[in-house]
Amino acid sequence: MSGILIIGCGTPGRGDDAAGIAVARRLRERGIAASEHSGDGADLLEAWSGADTVFLVDAVSSGAAAGTVTEWDARTAPVAGSPAGTHAFGVAEAVGLARVLGRLPASLTIIGIEAASFAHGAPLTPEVERAVESVSERLILVYEEYSGKGRRP
């Protein structure tokens, strides 16, 4: 496999923790391949194996305002503790191990959406829902440009 890979991480039914999953589903509604992932680090190493360009979307909990979107290059910026995963070996640990093993994709961009609630059975909060829409639209444009389907003058 090569090319672009979009992964939405999270847990449906756990409030804002489903933000990445919601992005993946919106992209698929628009005909763009995007996978859903629990955020388990060991599985992530396999999920992005062979991809050149990876965008990973996940809920984060940094203390910023709910719905704040943060993006960083996981090849160069520290990731430890950033994603709000529920796994002991999650996104940050997967990136760290992939660095050590030389298994990072050529480009790995993590897009974090600041969460407000992780309550069981809760829907996305309105702020996170707006961020999901914004991130989805941005990734649609990135995908179209990457695949040569972007609008050109």
CB–CB of 122/14 below 8 Å?
Answer: yes
pLDDT of residue 132: 98
State which residues of the chain have pLDDT below 50.
1, 80-87, 151-153
Give the Cα separation of 66 and 69 in Å (integer).
9
Q: What's the pTM?
A: 0.86
pLDDT of residue 38: 86
pLDDT of residue 147: 81
pLDDT of residue 93: 80
pLDDT of residue 98: 82
pLDDT of residue 97: 82
CB–CB of 109/71 below 8 Å?
Answer: yes
pLDDT of residue 150: 55
pLDDT of residue 71: 93
Which amino acid is present at 81? G
CATH no. for 4-146: 3.40.50.1450
pLDDT of residue 35: 95
* β-bridge mates for residue 58, sequence order: 112
pLDDT of residue 86: 47
